[in-house]
Structure 1
Amino acid sequence: MALAQVVLGSGRSVKLSSLRMAETYDGLLMGYPTREMNDAIVAGAVKQAEKDYPSPPVHLVEPPRVPRELRRATFGPMEELPHVLCTGLFTSEPVDPELDSVLHFSRLVVVWFQSDADLPSLGRTAPGLCDVPWAEKAEDLEL
């Protein structure tokens, strides 16, 4: 049983079989997020996904970045990412139409950011999650 199901913009249905969520700014005790900090968080999230899931390919959904104005920008301009960092393993029918869908499947690890800790669903997904280029990024495997 899948944790969630998402229909991509291409019409492909993908199933979420594993999900890790974390607070984007967990551990930020002082200061505020900047572009440089966010770049490090995003790169670190991809690197961690590649470490946690060493076999399947990893795809990053570029997160929306929201600049905020501060009266005293001590560390530079403020920029916020959505509050929840997500890493999920998705599976679907094989990409190669020549493969038997009974014996084969495709998979892809996706890293994305969203505003809350809700599971993606058919009617509600984080920005960009439905735009994952599955055919170009996912790998086919035999059961």
Structure 2
Amino acid sequence: MALARVVLASGRSVDLSELRMSSTYGGLLEGYPCKPLNDRTIAGLPRSAASAFPGAPVHLIPPPREYPDQYAGAFGPVEVLPAVICVGSFRSQAVDPAHDRVLYRSRLTVVWFQSAPHVPSGCDAEPALRDVSWDRLATDEEL
């Protein structure tokens, strides 16, 4: 049973089978959110998502970056990412129309950021998540 069903902008429905959320800056003990820190965080996400969900392709949705009017420290201006990192394992019908719908399904692991810890559902998911090009990114697997 899926946690939620998300309807992509293409009209395809995808089932969210597992979701992991974490605080974007939960481990930040000192310093401040800045481009070098954010770039390092973002760069490590595909690798950790692939480790968490082996065998599925991983797609990272680039997060929006905000630049509040705050004092720039030694690492440059303050740069803030959305508060929650999400890693979701999604499944849907096979991408390849030649595959038997009963014997095949497609899957994709998606990494995205959102402002609050909520489960995406239906058409209320983050716009960037709904815009994922499933047919290009997902892979089919035999059940």
Could you say which TM-score interval applies, normalised by the shorter chain? over 0.9
Name the structure 2 match of 1:9. Answer: 9
Q: Is the 8 A contact 1:68 1:79 kept in 2?
A: yes
Tell me, in whole angstroms, the C-alpha distance in 1 between the residues paired with 2:128 and 2:76: 28
Name the structure 2 match of 1:142. Answer: 142
Name the structure 2 match of 1:24. Answer: 24
- With 15-24 and 96-105 compared, the bigger mean Cα shift is at 96-105
Q: Is the 8 A contact 2:7 2:13 kept in 1?
A: yes
1:75 deviates by 2.7
Flag structure 1 segments of 5+ consecutive residues without an equivalent.
none
Name the structure 2 match of 1:96. Answer: 96
1:72 deviates by 4.8
Name the structure 2 match of 1:63. Answer: 63
Q: Is the 8 A contact 1:114 1:127 kept in 2?
A: no
- The 4+ residue runs of structure 1 with deviation greater than 4 A are none
Aligned residues: 143
Identity %: 52
TM-score, scaled relative to structure 2: 0.95
Residue identity matched to 1:9: A
1:109 deviates by 0.3
Tell me, in whole angstroms, the C-alpha distance in 2 between the residues paired with 1:59 and 1:34: 23
TM-score, scaled relative to structure 1: 0.95
Three-state SS of the structure 1 residue aligned to 2:50 is helix
Q: Is the 8 A contact 1:95 1:106 kept in 2?
A: yes
Name the structure 1 match of 2:123. Answer: 123
Three-state SS of the structure 1 residue aligned to 2:79 is strand
Tell me, in whole angstroms, the C-alpha distance in 1 between the residues paired with 2:123 and 2:11: 13
